[in-house]
Amino acid sequence: MPGLAKSLTGLIFAFCSAATPAADDAWVVAMNYPAWVVRNYETLPLLPGIVLQENDLLRTGKGGRLQLRLADGSVLQIGESSRLVMMSTASFQVLRGVFRVIPEFFDGASGGYRLEARIGAIGAAWRNSSLWGRADLERDAICLVEGELNVGSVGFEGVDMNQALSCYVKPRNQAPLPVDLIDIRQHQLWMDETELETASGIATRDGRWQLVLISLTNSKPAEQALTEFHQKGFAVQRISVVRNGRTLHRLVLPGFESKEAALNARVRIEELLGINDAWVWHAK
């Protein structure tokens, strides 16, 4: 276990020290913990600022949500308990869960990058458009908020959509339903499922506030706790400090955008990790 903990910690610090994302990168802008990335057969906790690679599998846990930046500047938001594969910086596949795409700006034009997605059995392509979608055990769906969208599924004719709040639904193992409009109130409920939750504590790439989860004098239990926290989807880091001649091994969860965000996250994270008395610290 100590070797595994050191390996995971090294990879997470490598993520943290990565260069500033390039304009055409896809990367994690902000998030609610917990979340993971499966990359090269390694499962690691996600951290804001990570530049995503082709074939990265992103997972969110209960209460976990992600906000990504795609190659064209669009924001891709992912709700809790979701599974999504980044096929490239401008395409992705939703295996399960809910997502939303928000263009960098919307001027009614359809120029710019062509983005593509597969939502369960549905394939979709668009430029400069806002949309929402979900894949679950019963059906797959994609709804146009504004702009234009080309959508289809294997064995069935494709559809061009350009009416706001229109929705394409394909029940499992059945033909797609006729494109229909959704109620504005239902639309808002669906949008809310992908929004980052302030009450859960938002972590960002430049967040300097941290939660100190535990502080131990013995390195072995610190390494064991570090491995456990990583497995639970929290990008905890180990920091050693000397106090009154003793070395303390502190496990800290970084990236919160404010003291309030860290405090908001504390109770929920203590419950999920089975700890008590976490405290807030501002990194220099």
On whether the CB atoms of residues 238 and 9 are closer than 8 A, the answer is: yes
On whether the CB atoms of residues 98 and 191 are closer than 8 A, the answer is: no
* pLDDT score, position 271: 94
DSSP-derived letter for residue 207 is -
* Structural element, H or E, at residue 95: strand 91-102
Alpha-carbon torsion (93, 255, 253, 249), positive or negative: positive
Q: Does residue 135 or residue 16 have the better pLDDT? A: 135
Which residues, 6+ apart, have CB-to-CB distance to 244 below 8 Å? none
Structural fold of domain 64-196: Jelly Rolls (2.60.120)
Tell me the C-alpha distance between 261 and 48, whole Å: 14
Q: Collapsing DSSP states into helix, strand and coil, what is residue 146?
A: strand
pTM surpassing 0.85?
Answer: yes
Phi, psi (deg, nearest 5) at residue 226 = -60, -45
On whether the CB atoms of residues 95 and 190 are closer than 8 A, the answer is: no
* pLDDT score, position 104: 84
The residue-averaged pLDDT of 261-266 equals 94
With cut-offs at 50, 70 and 90, classify the pLDDT of residue 59: very high
| Mean pLDDT computed over every residue of the chain | 90
pLDDT surpassing 50 at residue 6: no
Q: Does residue 109 or residue 143 have the better pLDDT? A: 143
pLDDT surpassing 50 at residue 156: yes
Q: Is 23 left (phi over 0), alpha (psi -120 to 50) or beta?
A: alpha
Class of domain 200-282: alpha beta
* pLDDT score, position 177: 96
Domain residue limits, the chain: 64-196, 200-282
Phi, psi (deg, nearest 5) at residue 270 = -60, -40
The residue-averaged pLDDT of 100-117 equals 80
With cut-offs at 50, 70 and 90, classify the pLDDT of residue 4: very low
pLDDT surpassing 50 at residue 212: yes
